[in-house]
Amino acid sequence: IDFSTTVGSSMVPVFNASGDVLLFERLTQRFVGFKRGEVVVATSPKDPDARICKRILGVPGDKVVVGAETRDPYQVRVPLGHVWLQGDNRATSHDSRHYGPVPIGLLQGKVRAKLWPPWEIGPVETKVLPA
């Protein structure tokens, strides 16, 4: 079990842009792996000293359509040993659309609950969203 705070608006409205305290755990992925729709904390693929918090939208073998809302959508197949991560707030999120599939080894754990602010305490839902 570990804790992380939010910085940035990539997961708004699930998490506030700053100040939320999240509880994440590192155990269950060792037994059941990661699934589409789970919110995870990961080491940033661009900055090994930073953590990111995103939702898994693709697992190994999935075909993810990127830019479906644009004139030039394209497909990416998630390679073995990787996941496709995106923030729920697509307009502000810097995610797999920018840096590609993320190695599973960078995932630190699954976000299970929001602990702060107190009026928003509760579990974090697994939701399968389109890419």
Q: Catalytic: which of 54, 93, 96, 110?
A: 54
Cα separation of the two ends of the chain: 29
4 catalytic residue (yes or no): no
Q: What are the two backbone dihedrals, phi and then psi, of residue 30, each rounded to the nearest 5 degrees?
A: -70, -25
Is 96 annotated as catalytic? no
Q: Which of 9, 10, 63, 127 is catalytic?
A: 10
C-beta separation of 110 from 28 below 8 A: yes
Positions marked active-site: 10, 54
